[in-house]
Amino acid sequence: DTGVSQDPRHKITKRGQNVTFRCDPISEHNRLYWYRQTLGQGPEFLTYFQNEAQLEKSRLLSDRFSAERPKGSFSTLEIQRTEQGDSAMYLCASSSTRKGNQPQHFGDGTRLSIL
Amino acid sequence: ILNVEQSPQSLHVQEGDSTNFTCSFPSSNFYALHWYRWETAKSPEALFVMTLNGDEKKKGRISATLNTKEGYSYLYIKGSQPEDSATYLCAFSDTNAGKSTFGDGTTLTVKP
């Protein structure tokens, strides 16, 4: 078990560009979550998957954001036409529902900086 | 929108001091409360999962209590050490959907 991994760790891009982040959850975890975190605040929920199904998406998430988990394993988060307000840490977490109420296991995050 | 509040926002203590933080959450439709520790340049690490009113959990020098009727949880650290310096986050769930609402955290700095 290597934990949750995210790639890249850092991404710097110009405003207007598209970016894609990848998350590889713990292999036996069926749930996968995406959060956004900005300085001084806690993680803000974006969306989550159970297996390959996207079950909930935050109303705060604009149409420029899309997430996929095509085979119920890794997930990607894409941001189109990035804006300066998208600069943040993007965290991925995974958990299992098979053993009752379990905590989420987090990756190290992808820090996005929009120039 | 669920309101999860943590206080204080930050805390500076001397090594050896004991300290505690508060997490306030909605008292209705409670499902679970999680505590996480988030050290700089690392990922958040789960400390406790609390589900029942009156729950008390302990891990080494860190313990937590839960009051679901009034909507609060306390996290205690006994004899703080510099390695306890981190941001402590609580996360509230109102269903088994897995979605958690996080507080903004309490940042603890322990001075040697």
**Averages of pLDDT over each 10 residues, chain B, 112 residues:** 91 96 92 94 93 94 97 97 97 80 96 94
Please enumerate in sequence order all residues whose Cβ is within 8 A of that of A95, keeping only pairs 6 or more positions apart, or say none: A29, A31, A33, A102, A103, A104, A105, B98
Å between B50 CA and nearest CA of chain A = 9
Residues of chain A with pLDDT under 50: none
Q: Cβ contact (<8 Å) for B98 and A107?
A: no
- Residue listed under structure tokens 């997930």: A75
Cβ-count burial of A13 within 10 angstroms (0-12 exposed, 13-18 middle, 19+ buried)?
A: middle
- The span from the CA of B28 to the CA of A57, in Å, is 23
pLDDT for position A59: 81
pLDDT of residue B29: 86
B87: closest CA of chain A, how far (Å): 10
Structure tokens at A69: 């988990």
DSSP SS3 for A85: helix
pLDDT score for B97: 64
Residues from chain B that touch A104, judged by Cβ atoms under 8 A, are: 34, 46, 91, 98, 100
Q: How far apart are CA B73 and CA B56, in angstroms?
A: 10
A interface test, pick of B99, B101, B106 with most A CB neighbours within 10 Å: B99
What local confidence, expressed as pLDDT, does residue A60 receive?
A: 75
CA distance to partner chain B, nearest, from residue A50 (Å): 9
The pLDDT value recorded for residue A97 is 84
Contact B43 A4 (CB under 8 A): yes
